[in-house]
Structures are given as C-alpha cells and as structure tokens.
Amino acid sequence: MTDPTTYLSHLELGEPDKTFLDSNELIINMGPQHPATHGVLRVILKLDGEKVLGTECVIGYLHRGVEKIAEHRTYTMFNPYVDRMDYVAAVSNGLGYCEAVEKLLNIEAPPRAKYIRVILTELNRLASHQLWLGTHALDIGAMTPLFYTFRDREEILKIFEKYCGARLTTHSFRIGGCQYETYDGFERDVKKFIDFVPPKIDEYEELLTTNRIWLERTKNVGKISVADCKALGVTGPVLRASGVKWDLRKAQPYAAYSDFDFEIPTGQNGDTYDRYMVRMEEMRQSLRILRQAVERIPEGPIMAKVPKVMKPPVGEVYHSIEAPKGELGYFIVSDGSTQPYRVRVRPPSFVNLQALDIMVRGALVADVIAVIGTLDIVLGEVDR
Amino acid sequence: MPEETKSPAPPPGGEPAQKPPAAAAEKPVPPAKLAGPVPTPWESPLVTKLKRQYGSGVREANTYLGQDYLVLDPSITNEILQVLRDEDEFDYCVDITAVHYPKQEKQLELVWILYSFARNQRLRVKTTIADGESFPSSVPIWATANWLEREVFDMFGIKFDDHPDMKRILLPDGWKGHPLRKDYGIIQQDQEWVKINLGIESGQ
C-alpha cells in the first residue's frame, strides 16, 4: 500500500504573511495568466527562498463541459468538438474518437482511409512536437528554436490546409473513414516534406543538444522514476524518457500502425533532457512511418459503409491511442439511440500534469517553468 | 432507457432512418441489427481465481467487442482492485469515471479502466452505488486516482472516503450541482455563483 501522502497534490495553506515572517516560507501564485504556463494554468507554489516545497495546481479555467455536450449531440455532431481539446494535435483527437465509435458500431475503416489517417496523425505528431520544442525552449530562454520550429511547422499546416481547408482544428476524419480523398499532389507534398525536415531537426539539435545553458537547465531537472510514472498513470514521452519502452502504437496497434517499422525511443534518467531527446527521436521515427505510409498507400475507397443515422448497439467501449502527449482514451457508452449516453475522455495532459508536484519538489522556481514545458500540457485538454 | 433525459429536439435526419425498418417490419431487418456483438462470458485464470475467492461477489465477467470487464459487488470492489494491482500486475490505472443511470435503483456506476504493462492487457472494473453513497478511495492503490476521483466527485457528486483532498477540480469550489448527472440540464448553471463572482446576470 502506498502512503497516500507520497503524492500529495495539495498544500496546507496557512496565513501566508504569518508563514512568511515566521520561517521565510512564501506562498506565491504562478498564473493563470502567465506565458510559461502554456494556457490558463494556475500553480500555487510554496517556496523557501528559491526552493519549491510544494505545489498545487488549480485547473478548470478552460472547462467547457465537452463530455456534457457529447450527451446532447449525435455521434457525428460531436466529432468536431474533440478537435478543440488538444488543439495542437487535433488530428489525434479525431482519430481516437472516430475509432472508438467505429468499434462501437463494429465497422472498420478501409485500408486507404487508415493510411491517410496514419499520415495525417504522424504529421500532426511532428507539428505538436515542434510546437512543444519551440515553446519549451522559449520558456527556458532560447528564443531561436521557436522561429525555426514554427517555420517548419508551417509546412505541415499547409498540407492540412490543402487537404481539408483547416490548419489547426482540422476535423479531417469521419466515423468510418475520411471525408476527403487526398488532393492531387498530396503524396508529392508529403514526400517533399519528409526530405525537407530531417536537416531541420538536426538544426534544432545543433542549437540545443550540446548547448551548455540547455544542459544546465535540463539535465537532472524534473526527474521522475518509473515507479512514480506508473503510480501516477503518466504516459507518452514522459514515461518513455524514464525508461519504459511502451507505446500504444506498438503495444496495441490501431489504424494501420502494425504495418510499419519504427522504433520506440527511450531515455534512462527520466529528466527534462531525456524527455527532450525522446521527443526529438520520435520526430525522426514519425518521418520513418510517414515515408513507409506514403510509399505504400493503397488504392480503394476511403469510407466504410456507415449508416446515415448512427445507432450503435447498446454497450460500451474504451479505445485509446498514442497521442503526442500520451494515452488518449475514449470511453463511450451507447444506449442504442443516436446520441451517446456518456462519453468520457481520458486526456493525457490532465493525468500527466498531476506529476508536476513530485517532479518539482525540492527544485528551484525556474525549474517549475522547465518542467511545465517538458510535460507538454495543453490546457484545452486538461480542462475539457 | 434514458430517452427523455436527452435533448427534446430529435437530430436532423433521425425520422427518415427510422421509417424503413418500421415500414418493413416483417422483413428480418431488426433481427439483423440485433445480431450485432453481444457480451460473451470471459474465461480466464484471473476470473476463476476471483470467483473462487469471492463467489457471487463477482456478478459478471464478460467480454464485449474484445474488451474484458468485471461487474463487482460494491462491498468487495475496493479489495479486488487492491488484489488486481498487487497480485495480477494491473499496475496502471488508466481512468476512473462514472455513469449516471437515474432510472436504476443504484443510480451511479463507477468504472475503473486498468492496464497491465506486463501482460499488455486491459480490464474494466465496474460497480454500482446508490445516489449519495460514498466509496472507498483508490488513492492508496494508485496515486493517479487523486485527480480522477476529484473529477468524478466534481461531475457526479460521488464522495470518496479517505481521499487526501476531496474537493472540486474543474468547477469552482462554491458551485452548486454536478453537471454530468442526467438531472443537470445542458444549459443549466449555478446562476447565483455567476451573479456573485462574474457580476453578470447570466453566463448564457
């Protein structure tokens, strides 16, 4: 039995002034309007000088009641809403939702649709990691990577825009497949992108990997052990950087992922630097998947036979995918009507954010910024 | 069953689709629909072990669409969760959530989604509790239960005993009502809270 106080996520707040005068302890607020919190996250920090004694996260500023909305929309109508959760990786959200409903309906997307899904999802994973890298480096004090990553991310957004007209919240998948056939030159654009981006990733690495300031700010910062990761349900690159070779794309393949060769990068120390290295390598592995997918993309229909009015049989299903931030799951309960009885979203950011406290306890205030960045949270998904 | 709790307006296109099966009632269209997947009994050493140990406390052990789930008696659920983690390697608690069935005697269904890294296996554990009843917290079993249970409390009003920090997580502390319950309307809100804290008549 774990001692429940090991992962205490709340602070016993006394009178701050009194505490301050008595023992030099200080309680300060970070956020909710703080550029380094990546949205509207409020963290209450209990400090002893520069040292963090404990934190408490206050979330919910972006709560829109997505799960409640789902119960009042049809399965199809709810589809665009999921894009607004993790808005920097909207394609992954859509993939998870569509596959969950397909499972409930007991249908399967045709092979071509699955390949298009993999291509767009991996492009989005790259875009998400690039945005993460840019903002994370900016938080730590390196401004250049932001310009580099946004410049290259633009190429991905252009492909999305050409494919479906939207750049960020793409709503690119439908239940049963994809709505749009690829545009003329889609393969060419993706191939061009695959050739264009590897030198750029090397360029980011040149800026940071051996940069002394970067090393000082990230090595041994925000360490988390495998045991803590598992206890706290932390997934995605954070778990992998601690040394667990676990990726849902391999463990329980979905879409067409079982067709492709790729590695799961892992780290050993579980610190901010390892998480950076894991994500950098993940970008390269995404490119590997993209190259295979775009070369082998099969011909055929892009939509399965789906009833116009979807009435999944009574039952429930849980389906999860490897989103750029970790395990993104949908638990859907159907009562046999056109609207879901209950949709539960298992957001990776929400669960990963819980680990913030144990990662920063005993560290410096500046490290809190680095750790929030390295957790790669999106508040739209934390608050839903 | 929850038909009337849904929004009154039927979704566009709902009518035409219902007509064909109704018009051709004699044709085997509705049975074909019912021939979809059904839960089948889930046989595994784990189920045998739990059934031997807890007898009828294990109410159901089924597989639906390839996904295994257990329905347990609430009195033994917490104990079994502990056993699942300690003896059966379900070391990762993916999610804790609830579903509200206002027409059932025991209105609230609690759901744990578990995963075992060693076995690469997923498992859902479910139990039902009456409205207003509390349930033992799973925080001592999986630390991740902390926020997940707070969210269940926030959305459904289920209190977890011995939780280290049982308070709302997404909604503000003073809010009245638990939005994911079926008796909470989609545009309903705590008007008083909105007036006092936001200084506006209504948030709509």
Task: Answer whether residue B193 shows pLDDT above 60.
Answer: yes
A69 vs A173: CA distance, rounded Å: 20
Q: Which of A354, A357, A379, A381 to mutate to test the interface with B (most CBs of B within 10 A)?
A: A354
Contact (CB<8Å) B143/A6:
yes
Checking if the pLDDT of A6 tops 60, the result is: no
Phi-psi domain of A31 (left: phi exceeds 0; alpha: psi -120 through 50; beta: other): left
Q: ∠ at Cα A378 (A266, A273), nearest 5°?
A: 30
Buried (b) or exposed (e) across A48-63, using 16+ Cβ within 10 A? eeeebbbbbbbbbbbb
Q: How far is B116 from chain A (nearest CA, A)?
A: 10
By Cβ distance, the residue of B94, B164, B172 closest to A233 is: B94
Supply the Cα-derived Rg of chain B in whole angstroms.
21
Residue whose C-alpha is closest to residue A360's, from A47, A129, A49: A47
Beta-carbon separation of A72 and B7 below 8 A? yes
Helix (H) or strand (E) holding A375: helix A365-375
Q: What is the pLDDT of residue B34?
A: 46
Provide mean pLDDT across the span B152-167.
88
Q: What is the percentage of chain B residues whose pLDDT exceeds 90?
A: 11
Q: Could you identify the residue written with the tokens 């909604």?
A: B171
Please indicate whether, in this complex, the C-beta atoms of B11 and A74 are within 8 angstroms of each other. yes
Residues 6+ apart with CB under 8 A from A185: none
Which has the higher per-residue pLDDT, A3 or A54? A54
Q: Which of B2, B165, B170 sits opposite A60 (nearest CB)?
A: B170
pLDDT at B32 over 70: no
Q: What is the 3-state secondary structure (H, E, C) of chain B?
A: CCHHHCCCCCCCCHHHHHHHHHHCCCCCHHHHHHCCCCCEECCCHHHHHHHHHHHHHEEEEEEECCEEEEEECHHHHHHHHHHHHHHHCCCEEEEEEEEECCCCCCCEEEEEEEEECCCCEEEEEEEEECCCCCEECCCCCCCCHHHHHHHHHHHHCCCEECCCCCCCCCCCCCCCCCCCCCCCCCCCCCHHHHHHHHCCCCCC
Instruction: State the smallest CA–CA distance between residue B15 and chain A in angstroms.
Output: 9
Residue A83 CA to residue A154 CA, distance in Å, equals: 19
Shortest Cα distance, chain B CAs vs residue A280, angstroms: 25
Question: How close is the nearest chain A Cα to the Cα of B171, in Å?
Answer: 6
Residue A12's pLDDT is 58
Cβ–Cβ below 8 Å for A309 and B7: no
Whether residue B62 is predicted with pLDDT greater than 70 in this model: the reply is: yes
Q: Give A283 or A18, the one with higher predicted confidence.
A: A283
Average pLDDT of chain A to the nearest whole number? 86
Query: Where are the extended beta strands (E) located within chain A?
Result: 25-30, 42-48, 51-58, 173-174, 177-178, 315-323, 326-334, 342-346
Whether A115 has a pLDDT exceeding 50, the answer reads yes
From chain A, pick out residues whose CB is under 8 angstroms from the CB of B6. Answer: 71-72, 337, 339
Contacts of B67 in chain A (CB under 8 A): 317-318
Give A117 to chain B, closest Cα distance, Å: 22
Cβ-based contacts of A250 with chain B (< 8 Å): none
Q: Under an 8 A CB cutoff, do A72 and B6 touch?
A: yes
- What is the model's pLDDT at position A286? 92
ipTM of the complex: 0.83
Does A384 sit within 8 Å of B143, measured CB to CB?
no
Q: A230 contacts in B (CB within 8 Å)? A: 91-92, 117
pLDDT of residue A98: 92
- The shortest C-alpha distance from B90 to chain A (Å) reads 10
B124/A318 touch (CB, cutoff 8 Å), yes or no: yes
Report the distance separating Cα B146 and Cα B138, nearest Å: 8
Q: What is the pLDDT of residue B33?
A: 47
Residue of B nearest to A69 (CA): B186
Residue of A nearest to B138 (CA): A4
Q: Do A316 and B120 touch (CB under 8 A)?
A: no
Residues 6+ apart with CB under 8 A from A247: A240, A264, A322
Among B34, B91, B147, whose Cβ lies nearest the Cβ of A350?
B147
Size of interface A-B (CB pairs under 8 A): 144
Q: What is the pLDDT of residues A257-278, one digit of tens each?
A: 888 889 899 988 889 999 999 9
Largest CA distance in chain B: 60
The pTM assigned to this predicted structure is: 0.84
Q: Which of A74, A248, A316 to mutate to test the interface with B (most CBs of B within 10 A)?
A: A316
Can you give the pLDDT at residue A130?
92
Contacts of B168 in chain A (CB under 8 A): 60
Q: Which of A106, A232, A350 sits opposite B37 (nearest CB)?
A: A106
Is there a contact between B144 and A104 if contact means CB atoms under 8 Å apart? no
End-to-end CA distance of chain B: 29
The answer on pLDDT for A218 being more than 80 is yes
A306 vs A179: CA distance, rounded Å: 12
How many residues does the structure list for chain B? 204
- Give the other-Cβ count within 10 Å of A241's Cβ: 27
The pLDDT of residue A129 is above 80: yes
User: Quick check: B97 and A384 CB within 8 A?
Assistant: no
The letter for the amino acid at A378 is V
Inter-chain residue contact B65 with A106, CB threshold 8 Å: yes
pLDDT confidence of residue A332: 92
Interval A292-312 mean pLDDT: 87
Indicate if the pLDDT at residue A331 is higher than 90: yes
What are the chain A neighbours of B164 within 8 Å (beta carbons)?
A: 4-5, 8-10
